[in-house]
Amino acid sequence: MSRVFADLRAPQAADLSPDAVAVLPIGSIEQHGPHLPLSTDLVVAESLAHDAVETYGDAHDLWLLPPLAYSKSNEHAWSAGTLWLSATTLLAVLDDVARCLATTPVRRLVFLNGHGGNSALLQVAARDVRLAHGLRTFVMHPSLPADHGGTSPAAELGMGIHAGIDETSLLLHLRPGLVRLDLGVRSVPEQLTGYERVRFGGAVSFGWLSDDFGTDGTIGDPTSATAERGRNLYEAMVTAAGQSLAEIARFDPRPSR
C-alpha cells in the first residue's frame, strides 16, 4: 500500500483517519561549499521522510506529503545558486498547506526539517497553524544542529553546522555521485573559540551569514567524511524518526481522566 499522500484519489483523501499523521519534508536549495550540491538539505529531508514513512507508516498511519524544496536560506543569499523564500512567504506557504490539509480528516502535521535556518520559523508556524486550523503540529529534525544545541565531532570544535563531516558523509551515502570530496577543505571558524557564551549552541545566539567567517561557505571539516559514517548516521536517523513518529501518533497533551 502506497503511503504517498499525492497518490491518493480525492475520495480516499476524504476518508483518511483523524489519527493519521501527515509528514512534510522541508529542505532548501542553497550553497553547501564547493563540494556538496545545492540540494543537500532537500536530499536528506526527503530521503528520511520517505524511508521513515515506508518503514513505520502502517504501524502509525503516516502519510508522506510532497516535499517543500525552497525555504528560508537567506544566510546563504550571497552565493550563486541559493534559492530562498522570505520568512513572510514561507509562513504563508506553510499556512496554506495546513489550511488545505485541514479540509481532510487528518489532524496531525509534522514538519520534518532538513535545514537549520528554518528551525525558529517552523516553531512559529507550528503554533500559528495550531491556532488557525486546529491541527496538532510538530517540528522534527534529522538530527539537532550544533547551532541549536546539538553536537558535532571534536575536530570541528562544536562548529560543524554546514557541509562538514556529518553532512558530507550523509551525502556520500545517499547521493555519492553529487559529491566532490576532492574539493572539500577544512573551514572551521576557529576564531569563535575565544567566546564562551556567544557561540553556536551557546547561551547567547547571534545572527549570522555564512560568509561572515572567512570560509568558502563551508562551516565544518568535510575532509574525513566517509560513506560508511554516512550510512551509520542515516540508519540512526531513520530509527530515531520512527521513535519520534510513534510518539507523535499517540501524543495528547490533555490530562487523562
Q: Is residue 233 part of a domain?
A: yes
> What is the structure's pLDDT at 211?
95
202 dihedral zone (left: phi>0; alpha: psi -120 to 50; beta): beta
Q: Is residue 45 part of a domain?
A: yes
Q: Is residue 255 part of a domain?
A: no
Rounded Cα gap, residues 15 and 111, in angstroms: 22
* Contact (Cβ atoms closer than 8 angstroms) between residue 172 and residue 227: yes
State the pTM of this model: 0.96
Q: Is residue 195 part of a domain?
A: yes
Q: How many domains does the chain have?
A: 1
Q: Is residue 256 part of a domain?
A: no
127-151 residue pLDDT tens: 999 999 999 999 999 987 777 777 7
CATH number of the domain at 215, please.
3.40.50.10310
Rounded Cα gap, residues 32 and 22, in angstroms: 29
Rounded Cα gap, residues 79 and 5, in angstroms: 34
Q: What domain range is 77 assigned to?
A: 5-250
Positions in the chain short of pLDDT 50: none
Q: Is residue 75 part of a domain?
A: yes
* Contact (Cβ atoms closer than 8 angstroms) between residue 21 and residue 60: yes
> What is the structure's pLDDT at 218?
97
DSSP lists the bridge partners of residue 138 as: 110
> What is the structure's pLDDT at 59?
98
Q: Is residue 257 part of a domain?
A: no
